[in-house]
Structures are given as structure tokens and as C-alpha cells.
């Protein structure tokens, strides 16, 4: 009979850690392929410019739905079977997106892609569960580096393939990769059968109680929601801005998106520093970095080479802020307990993806009606709200 989750004390192997990092990166990339393809997808599907943001927003809404109603199952059902089942849903949804004949079919597939891709947020807590307390920050940081690399590489890879063979290509490629990943994980993932103390209805109902009873969850989720809102707004609007103002092709936008990959270096560094109790200064630094990043491009924008360079710098610094604070926040949440870890992580991710969905939607809307300048100032507002809330933490005793 499998050892209960709470009793496992063995440290995670390097091979398993690398596999989970790669799996999380490949899975979560599905949420971001469409970000740099908003223009070609909306043109191909006949979507008006004001509704183009829905292409990204509905994927993120689906992710929130999955976080609230699928991730809690990781505290109830055997994790390996749950992971493989969710990946099968993703494969079918990606195939639906690739062979869409209209906007309704594609947007429905996007919702399902988001819902199924929450499997990444079952694998990250699983990595934390398999690690010892002493190595947890490092393990979470390394696995999150893989996840964040997936996020950051998704945009340039999607743009590159779209420029070569059309925007549907990336969905076909990803469907094949997800099918192969499901086979691998079905063979190598360890069995984890949580202590089943609540029914599914009880698990979902307990989310509200956990939210009320866990102030660190509320605070960390709000910080990340604001940072991710700015991140999503930037990556929803900057491809449109680069195409409209600078005349960049999909291949050139792909090269621009590769710049953001450098931001992934913040994740393992933040994980190690968090293990040394640097969480609060790391959070303050991330919030200030995101605020200043958007403030600079809101104040200094135009058609010059200098303005373009500032966009490159912002792509790096904004990604560093989001990835660094994410690792710090998840480490704090994973330390709260084994048996509620899946639900706590689901709540945290759901709240901050709501911020991302809001950023994507407002980015598309403001760009259509006010151009880049309006979108950039809305981008400043997101981390500024996080900064104001962070000042209340400095005044507290925690």
C-alpha cells in the first residue's frame, strides 16, 4: 500500500526534478502561444480588434476555472492518474484549436486548453511534496525556472512557426508534445495518494475557508495578480505595437520575445535567497522593478530606436519581476502544509491568473481605443496597486 503523502521524507532526485521542470514548461507554454499571435489569429478568424484580447483572456479564464475546480482534486485523487487525464484533455483541445473553422470553435478550444493546462499546478506542488524542507526553496525555484522558461519561450517559438507555416502550426506541434509527455509521465511519476478526508464538494467548499484563514495567501496572491496583470498586458499589446509602429514581421517579433527568456534567471536566484529569509526585500524589489519598467515606457515612447531598446529592456525586467516574486510566493505557500497544499496553490494561482486575464482584456481593449500610450499607463497601475498594498505589510508586525 502506498505511503501516505504526509509520511514521505525522501528528497527528490535530480532526474525527477528536471523532468518536472521540463513538463511544467511544456504544459504551461500552451497558455502563451497565442499572445504574440493575436494579430494573425484574429485576422484568420475574423475577430474585430476590440475583441482580439479574448484570444488570450479566455485561455486564462479557463486556467482559473481549472485551478478552482480541478487542482483541488490533487488533495483527493491519486496524482499521477489525474495528471495524465488532464493532459489528454489538453491534447484534444489543442487539436480543436488547430483545426478550427471559426472564432467560436477556437475560443472554446482556448478555454479548454487553459482548463487542462492546470496540470502544471499539480506537478509543482508534487515537486515540493517530494522534496525535503531544506531543499524545498531550491527545488521549487528550479521547477519554476522550467515553467517560466516555457512561458517565455512559448511566445518566440509560436511567432517563429507562424511566420514559417502559419499560426495553426504551433497547436499541432504542441498536441503531439502533450501526447508524448502524457506517456512519459504515466510511466515515471511516483504514486501519490493523498489522505482522503473530504469529498470533492467539501474540497471546493473549503477554498473559501482557506482563503479567509490564510492571510499570507491573500497577500501573496494580490501581489502576484498585480504583477501578472502588468505582464499579460505587456505581452498582449507589445506584438501589436511592434507591428504597427515599427513594422516588425512575425519572425522579428519572435526575436524580440526571445529577449524575455533572460528574465527566467531570477527564479532560481529568488528561490535560494528565499531559503535565507529574504522574502520581504525580494518582493519589494520585484514590485518596484515592475512599476519602474512600465513607467519608463509610458513616459518615453515613440518611433525611435531608443524607444525600441527600452521595450527590449522592459521585456527582461518585467519578466524578472514576475518570475522572482512567483517563486518567493509559492515557497511561502507550500510551507503552510501538505494536505492543503494543492488547494492553497490552486487558490493562489487562480487569483493571480485573474489578474492576468484582466491585464490581457484591458490590454486589448485599451490598445484598440487609445493606442500604446493608454495601454502603458494602465500597465503602470497594476504594480502600483501592489506597491500600495505592500506598504501596509511594512507597517505590520509580520
- Which pLDDT belongs to residue 4? 45
Cell of 98: 488547430
- Which pLDDT belongs to residue 72? 80
Q: Model confidence over 26-83: pLDDT tens digits?
A: 999 999 898 878 878 888 888 876 677 788 889 989 998 998 888 888 878 888 999 9
Evaluate whether 275 touches 334 at the Cβ level (below 8 Å): no
The enclosing domain of 108 has a CATH number of 1.20.1250.20
Angstrom CA distances, 33 to 27, 56, 169, 304, stand at 11, 9, 11, 28
1 is a domain residue: no
Q: Which stretches within the chain are classed as H helix?
A: 14-28, 38-45, 54-69, 79-98, 103-116, 120-130, 136-165, 169-188, 200-213, 215-246, 250-259, 266-275, 279-299, 305-334, 341-395
Contacts 24+ apart (CB under 8 A), 44-48: 44/167, 45/100, 45/102, 45/103, 45/106, 46/102, 46/103, 47/103
Q: Which stretches within 46-102 are classed as H helix?
A: 54-69, 79-98
Q: Give CA–CA dist 302/317, Å, rounded.
A: 20
Angstrom CA distances, 351 to 180, 222, 224, 329, stand at 31, 7, 8, 13
Evaluate whether 347 touches 215 at the Cβ level (below 8 Å): no
Evaluate whether 93 touches 34 at the Cβ level (below 8 Å): no
366 is a domain residue: yes
- Which pLDDT belongs to residue 368? 86
Question: What is the domain range of residue 163?
Answer: 11-395
Specify the pTM.
0.78
Count of all residues that appear for the chain in the document:
398
Q: Which residues contact residue 95 at a Cβ distance below 8 angstroms, ignoring those fewer than 6 apart?
A: 171, 172, 175
3 is a domain residue: no
The stretches in the chain having pLDDT less than 50 are: 1-9, 397-398
Q: Give CA–CA dist 327/373, Å, rounded.
A: 31
5 is a domain residue: no
Q: Within 10 Å of residue 204's Cβ, how many Cβ atoms? A: 16
DSSP letter (8 states) at residue 190: P
81 is a domain residue: yes
Q: Give CA–CA dist 49/62, Å, rounded.
A: 22
166 is a domain residue: yes
62 is a domain residue: yes
6 is a domain residue: no
Phi–psi pair at 78, nearest 5 degrees: -60, 125
Q: Within 10 Å of residue 374's Cβ, how many Cβ atoms? A: 18
Query: Torsion angle of alpha carbons 103, 105, 109, 110, nearest 10°?
Result: 10
HEC string for 321-358: HHHHHHHHHHHHHHCCCCCCHHHHHHHHHHHHHHHHHH
Q: How many domains does the chain have?
A: 1
Amino acid at each position: 500500500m502506498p505511503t501516505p503523502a504526509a509520511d514521505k521524507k525522501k528528497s527528490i532526485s535530480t532526474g525527477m526534478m528536471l523532468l518536472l521542470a521540463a513538463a511544467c514548461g511544456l504544459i504551461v507554454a500552451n497558455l502563451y502561444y497565442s499572445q504574440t499571435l493575436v494579430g494573425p489569429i484574429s485576422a484568420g478568424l475574423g475577430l474585430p480588434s476590440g475583441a482580439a484580447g479574448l484570444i488570450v483572456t479566455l485561455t486564462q479564464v479557463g486556467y482559473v476555472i481549472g485551478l478552482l475546480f480541478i487542482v483541488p482534486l490533487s488533495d483527493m485523487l491519486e496524482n499521477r492518474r489525474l495528471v495524465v487525464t488532464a493532459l489528454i484533455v489538453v491534447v484534444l483541445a489543442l487539436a480543436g484549436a488547430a483545426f478550427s473553422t471559426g472564432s467560436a470553435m477556437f475560443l472554446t478550444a482556448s478555454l479548454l486548453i487553459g482548463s487542462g493546462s492546470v496540470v502544471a499546478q499539480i506537478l509543482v506542488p508534487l515537486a515540493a511534496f517530494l522534496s525535503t524542507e531544506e531543499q524545498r526553496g531550491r527545488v521549487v525555484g528550479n521547477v519554476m525556472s522550467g515553467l517560466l522558461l516555457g512561458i517565455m519561450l512559448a511566445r518566440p517559438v509560436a511567432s517563429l512557426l507562424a511566420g514559417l507555416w502559419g499560426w495553426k502550426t504551433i497547436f499541432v506541434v504542441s498536441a503531439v508534445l502533450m501526447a508524448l509527455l502524457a506517456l512519459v509521465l504515466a510511466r515515471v511519476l511516483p504514486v501519490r495518494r493523498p489522505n482522503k478526508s473530504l469529498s470533492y464538494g467539501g474540497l471546493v467548499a473549503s477554498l473559501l475557508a482557506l482563503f479567509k484563514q490564510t492571510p499570507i495567501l491573500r497577500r501573496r496572491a494580490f501581489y502576484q495578480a498585480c504583477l501578472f496583470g502588468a505582464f499579460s498586458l505587456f505581452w498582449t499589446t507589445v506584438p501589436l505595437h511592434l507591428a504597427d509602429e515599427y513594422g516588425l514581421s512575425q519572425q522579428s517579433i519572435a526575436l524580440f520575445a526571445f529577449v524575455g527568456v533572460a528574465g527566467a534567471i531570477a527564479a532560481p536566484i529568488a528561490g535560494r535567497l528565499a531559503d535565507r529569509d529574504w522574502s520581504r526585500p525580494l518582493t519589494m524589489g520585484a514590485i518596484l522593478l515592475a512599476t519602474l519598467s512600465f513607467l519608463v515606457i509610458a513616459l518615453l515612447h515613440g518611433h525611435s530606436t531608443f524607444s525600441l531598446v527600452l521595450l527590449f529592456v522592459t521585456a527582461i525586467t518585467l519578466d524578472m519581476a514576475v518570475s522572482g516574486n512567483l517563486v518567493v510566493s509559492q515557497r511561502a505557500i507550500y510551507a503552510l502544509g501538505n494536505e492543503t497544499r494543492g488547494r492553497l496553490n490552486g487558490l493562489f494561482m487562480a487569483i493571480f491568473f485573474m489578474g492576468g486575464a484582466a491585464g490581457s482584456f484591458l490590454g486589448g481593449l485599451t490598445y484598440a481605443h487609445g493606442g500604446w500610450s493608454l495601454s502603458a499607463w494602465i500597465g503602470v497601475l497594476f504594480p502600483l496597486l501592489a506597491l500600495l498594498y505592500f506598504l501596509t505589510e511594512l507597517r505590520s508586525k509580520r
